[in-house]
Amino acid sequence: MLMYSTCIFCNRSLDTNEAIEIFPVGRRIAFDGSKGRLWVICRRCERWNLSPLEIRWEVIEECERLFRETRLRVSTDNIGMAKLPEGLELVRLGRPLRGEFAAWRYGDQFGRRRRRSAMYTTAGVGALGIVVVGGAAVGISLGGGYWGYVQLVRWIANERIATRLRHPDSDEKIKVQLKHLEKSRLVPGETPGEWELHMKYARGCSSGFTGGDADTLVYRGDDATEIAGKLMARANRSGGSKKTIGQAVRRIESVGNPESFLTEAVRESERLRREKAGDNPKKLEKSTEGSLAKLPGDIRLAIEMAVHEEGERRAMEGELDILEAAWKNAEEIAAIADSLLVPTEVDEFVTAEKEREGAERKIIVPAGAGSSAPGEPAVAQRSDPPGEAPDRSGSDESE
Ligand SMILES: [Zn+2]
């Protein structure tokens, strides 16, 4: 089998992968099923090495299959990236797959949380259990009876800390307790598409009881969604069943994307608040507008997914932008190389790229770029005018 193992631009090793048996080269592979292109991206110089034509279709098929199966993936309009557990990264070019929102990846996490939570509940141990034991003794000495005991447990539970933060202005240590979650609200900001988190908190960071009215902090924009995600993870501390996770995913998918789902969630929160209050205006006034902790489990899970997805997507979008620019460049060269018409141009490109790096190395024809033997200097051998290549590869559908 025709194979190459070093980068044609920097001559350094392209490394290997164990995920694709028929093509164990590279740690980052880019493929374009619509044009039949396959590259190994050098992780050292980030340049794109076009693969040999001979095995390309088989490998592209395998890449597509692995990409679909992979849980961790992000996509923009015409480029996507998946990270395989083995460490191989697949860059998929072309139209994104449907249902690209990779919510399934939360499945494991939520399921784990749920099992852990169930364990604590049945065994009656864990952090809460210990507090409750102490609380029970107090409850009995107070003579509260069973009802008093239940209230006490609830009260103690609500004093538990959801998260510790620093005040953005004073840098003072603050804590958000479970009781603050219900009163914290995520509401649309003044700028469309932006969110405001009105978060309740108490000063200090030690565990223990806090009385009086909680203070309120307002976060905006990215900070608001990031902190909301943290709080949501705490509100969802008992995870979710497969069914609930499934419902959460469907909720996001039915809206189309995580971002607009938040809008939907806030609307739903408001609808439920009004429904619960019924005709009682006092009840309505007492409840918190935009309280996310009061929502049904599947919506809460979906919010956590949506908020995390947002953050991760933003982080990876920068990388995808760079890849997209590199792809356009590589595609131009590939179109030429694959047509087998003008190897000189490929040669010129390689030379130019090498000069860019200031390296003096032997010029090697990119594999699959011409009919010269691997390692042999590229020579313009063809006199055929462009567009009339008689031996053009049948499987190549480039225009
Ligand atoms: Zn390289």
pLDDT in tens, 221-244: 888 878 887 787 777 777 777 777
Q: Model confidence at 4, in pLDDT bands (50, 70, 90)?
A: confident
In the Cβ-directed half-sphere of 338, how many Cα atoms lie within 13 Å?
25
Distance (Å) from CA 14 to ligand 1 centroid: 7
The C-alpha angle with vertex 336 and arms to 8 and 7, in degrees rounded to 5, equals 10
pLDDT the model gives residue 148: 63
Question: What is this structure's pTM?
Answer: 0.50
Residue 97 pLDDT: 66
C-beta separation of 209 from 178 below 8 A: no
Ligand 1 mean position to 40 CA, how many Å?
10
- What is the CA 310 to chain-centroid distance, rounded? 8
Q: What's the CA-to-centroid distance between 72 and ligand 1, angstroms?
A: 26
Q: How many whole angstroms from 45 Cα to the centroid of ligand 1?
A: 4
CA within 13 Å, CB half, 51: 28
How confident is the model over 78-101, as pLDDT tens digits? 888 888 878 899 999 987 765 455
385: DSSP letter: P
Q: Where does the pLDDT of residue 20 fall: very low under 50, low under 70, confident under 90, or very high at 90 and above?
A: very high
What percentage of the chain has pLDDT greater than the value 90? 13
**CA–CA dist 311, 225 (Å, integer):** 8
**Sign of the torsion formed by the C-alpha atoms of 148, 152, 155 and 157:** negative
pLDDT digits (tens, 9 = 90+) for 259-303: 677 788 888 888 888 888 888 888 888 777 777 667 778 888 888
Q: What is the tens place of the pLDDT at every residue in 42-59?
A: 998 889 999 888 888 899
Ligand 1 centroid from CA 10, angstroms? 4
Complete DSSP assignment for 250-284: HHHHHHSSHHHHHHHHHHHHHHHHHHHHTT-HHHH
Instruction: Find the 49 Cα to ligand 1 centroid distance in Å.
Output: 8
**DSSP H helix total and E strand total for the chain:** 11, 11
Give the separation between CA 259 and CA 15, rounded to whole angstroms.
Answer: 38
How far is ligand 1, taken at its centre, from the CA of residue 314, in Å?
Answer: 27
Checking if the pLDDT of 378 tops 50, the result is no
Does residue 208 have a pLDDT over 90?
no
Ligand 1 center–CA 6 separation, angstroms: 8
